[in-house]
A and B are shown apart, each in its own frame.
Chain A
Amino acid sequence: MEINVQNLKVRFASPAGYVEAVKGVSFTLGREKLGIVGESGSGKSLTARSILKLLPKRACMTSDTLTFDGVDIQHADETAMRQIRGKRAGLIMQDPKYSLNPVMSIGAQIAETWRTHRGGGRMEAFEAAFDLLDQVKIRDPRRVAGAFPMELSGGMGQRAMIAMMLAPNPEILIADEATSALDVSVQAEILRLLENLVTTRGMALLLISHDLPLVSRFCDRVLVMYAGRVVEELKASDLARAQHPYTRGLLECLPSLARPCKRLKTMQRSDAWTA
């Protein structure tokens, strides 16, 4: 399975003409863990959602190449996209309370997803739901299966979300700021869980985040985005040798317990980065 993105552009119509939010992004993703890091407005979320064609109605997407395992996403219609979304590619977003149906129990939702993509009877689907909840390291799967989304904590909700996304056995998981709203300790657990699942199932992982150090811990490669462009692509282990001033700026402006300072270094933005 390989995702190939070449010269992806996403623009929005506005009263003042077009606004380009993604300005020619190119990358490939195989069975690996890729992180896309950027601040707000960098276009990282839009890039990830373009792969699944989940852009807002007003957005207009163009690319030289946009393929998912050979399937041409750029020209695919809704029927073809439905075969990929959920089934072959899962999407986990920031707040599980917004992504989960508030009036259905967790177990019912996971079972429904299972049945939609894999078929099978109700009992079979519910058993599968318990098993999935167990795989995401929820201690009491049966109790959680009967619970509703608002009864769960942030971390549990995300685990439930991951379980639901894993039901159809997808080839890639896209996590869009999936841990940004969680406590630091829970964040680490969820990412470790994702890491494990991805390795044992042979899935690919696309991790979108604003947290560069965090992403570089859990990914093999990192793309750094700024103002709609990829300014640097590097191996996670090479983070210290980052060349681009923006990447270096992102690392250097972080407060650190190990290296305290009187004044934090601030980012000196340059127009050259958006040239």
Chain B
Amino acid sequence: MTTETDMSSQLTTLKTGGWRSWMLTDTPRSRRQATAGMLYRGWLQFSRNRLAMTGFVTLLLMFAVAILAPQLASHDPNVQDLAHRLVAPSALHWLGTDQLGRDLYSRLLYGTRITLGMAVLIVAIVAPLGLLIGSVAGYAGGWIDRILMRVTDIFLAFPKLVLALAFVAALKPGLTSVVAAIALTAWPPYARLARAETMVIRHADFISAIRLTGASPSRIVFRHIMPLCISPVIVRVALDVSGIVLTAAGLGFLGMGAQAPSPEWGAMIASTRGFILEQWWVPTIPGVAIFVASLAFNLLGDGLRDVFDPKSD
């Protein structure tokens, strides 16, 4: 807790020493300052990795594009112009038009929303769920562990594609089916990861010390063990999302995802693949977008792993 005098002295340091020295100080004056300092140090280390920064900046740009798509688009992505089908990139249509005369550039921008939106939604479901199940299983041990791990095994056994087909048959094709199918099959590895980490941490002296305060098992798992599992989970998430983007695009390509006229990248490739020889840019450009998104997440994940789990020489 900081008092009035603490706050004003912190502000003074900000003005005189500069915020950088405030971050890197040896004697932080509040928990917030300590956490900020730790994050800043991690950021410094991350930013030294050029490839990781490339991935990070690319992703920032993609998220910006997704948010600002309406402002950045030159045309309405769904407006058809059958007189100008399959036009090559030109001044009017920066990336040309597809088989129905829709502006590819605008469709690409709006497609970013769909792809990144799916990725974020899936991760938001999958990571916390896996972390929770894994930590509880790892700490509790015994029959709780056994039951939770068998449940995990069951979901791990489902193939994504078949499950998606099943969802499509049960519900209607659409983003919901894709998100559901991927989410249900993507969480088990996180549970396993969290469980493995927990089983190691469980024996550490600092956990024994916390047990000796009389803390309840739930307090120990939620307040002390789960925060330590977050780093490996974050790294795994960043690396997994690249795969999730590809899977989602693949399902879209198979027609199970967003339906026409939605500008989902996978569907865009599917509907125009017949034109690949003459109007090659029409299916290729969404393909490149998928590739760039996937690679960017991959580079980000590598960079995060080097910061959280450095392999010293």
Task: Note whether A and B contact each other (Cβ less than 8 A).
Answer: yes
Q: Are B313 and A57 neighbours in the complex by a CB distance under 8 Å?
A: yes
B276 interface residue (CB < 8 Å to A): no
| Any A CB within 8 A of the CB of B11 | no
A56 sits at the interface (CB 8 A):
yes
Q: How far is the CA of A15 from the CA of B312 in the complex (A)?
A: 16
Chain B residues in 8 Å Cβ range of A56: 312-313
Residues on A with beta carbons closer than 8 Å to the beta carbon of B44: 15
- Which of A34-58 touch B at CB < 8 Å? 56-58
> Bound state CA distance, A15 and B313, in angstroms?
17
> CB within 8 Å of A: which of B38-54?
44
Q: Report B-chain residues with C-beta under 8 Å of the C-beta of A58.
A: 313
Residues of B within 8 A of A (CB-CB), count: 3
Cβ of B293 to closest chain A Cβ, rounded Å = 32
Task: Tell me, in angstroms, the Cα distance from A58 to B312 when the chains sit together.
Answer: 10
Contact with B along A4-19 (1 / 0, CB 8 A): 0000000000010000
Chain B nearest CB, measured from A10 CB (Å): 15
Chain B: CB-nearest residue to A15: B44
**Chain A interfacial residues counted at CB < 8 A:** 4
**Shortest CB distance A206–B (Å):** 24
Question: How distant is the Cα of A91 from the Cα of B312 in the complex, in angstroms?
Answer: 22
B17 CB to nearest chain A CB (Å): 16
- Bound complex: CA A56 to CA B312 (Å): 9
User: Binary interface profile of B, 269-313, with partner A (CB < 8 Å = 1, else 0)?
Assistant: 000000000000000000000000000000000000000000011
Query: What is the bound-complex CA distance between A221 and B241, given in angstroms?
Result: 61
Q: What's the Cα separation between A150 and B312 when bound, in Å?
A: 25
Residues of chain A lying within 8 A (CB to CB) of residue B313: 56-58
Return the chain A residue nearest B312 by Cβ: A56
CA distance in complex: A132, B227 (Å) = 50
**B312 cross-chain contacts in A, Cβ below 8 A:** 56
Q: Which residue of B is nearest A58, CB measured?
A: B313
Complex Cα gap A263–B44 (Å): 46
Q: Which of B1-59 contact A (CB under 8 A)?
A: 44
| Residue among A15, A56, A57, A58 facing the most chain B CB atoms (10 A cut-off) | A15
The B-contacting residues of A in range 57-74, CB under 8 angstroms, are 57-58
- Whole-angstrom CA separation of A58 from B310 in the bound complex: 14
* Smallest CB separation, A192 vs chain B (Å): 34
Chain B interfacial positions (CB closer than 8 Å to A): 44, 312-313
Q: Which 5 A-B pairs have the closest CB atoms?
A: A57-B313, A56-B313, A58-B313, A15-B44, A56-B312
Can you sample 5 A-B contacts with CB below 8 Å?
A15-B44, A56-B312, A56-B313, A57-B313, A58-B313
